[in-house]
Amino acid sequence: MSSIIETKDLTVSFGGHRAVDAVSISVKKNQFKSIIGPNGAGKTTFFNLLSGQLAPTKGSIYFKGTDITKASTTERTRRGIGRSFQITNVFPNLTVLENVRLAVQSQAGVRFQMLAHFKSLKGFEDKAMEWLKLVFLDKKWDTLAKNLAHGEKRKLEIAMLLALNTEVLLLDEPTAGMSLEEVPAILEVIRKIKEQGDRTIILIEHKMDMILDLSDSVMVLFNGRLLADGTPEEIMKNETVQSAYLGGLYDERPIEA
- Domains identified in the chain and CATH numbers: 30-40+73-218+225-249 (3.40.50.300)
Q: Which residues contact 114 (CB under 8 A, 6 or more apart)?
A: none
pLDDT in tens, 239-248: 888 887 655 4
pLDDT category of residue 40 using cuts at 50, 70 and 90: confident
Distance CA 70, CA 55 (A): 7
| Mean predicted confidence (pLDDT) in 127-146 | 96
Alpha-carbon gap, residue 84 to 43, rounded angstroms: 14
Section 250-256 average pLDDT: 39
Of the listed ranges 56-70, 84-98, 104-118, 150-164, the least confidently predicted one is 104-118
Q: What is the pTM of this model?
A: 0.87
pLDDT for residue 250 is more than 80: no
Quick one: the chain helix, strand, coil %, rounded to 5?
Answer: 40, 25, 35
| Residue 39 predicted with pLDDT over 80 | yes
- Neighbour-count burial for 201-231, b at 16+ CB within 10 Å, e otherwise: bbbbbbbbebbeebbbbbbbbbbbbbbbbee
Mean pLDDT of the chain: 88
Span 141-145, mean pLDDT?
Answer: 97
Residue 122: the pLDDT is 79
Model confidence at 180, pLDDT cuts 50, 70, 90, reads confident
Closest CA to 196 of 135, 107, 152, 121: 135
Q: What is the pLDDT of residue 256?
A: 36
pLDDT confidence of residue 247: 57
Query: What digits encode the pLDDT tens for the residues 216-234?
Result: 999 999 999 999 999 999 9
Compute the average pLDDT of residues 2-30.
Answer: 95
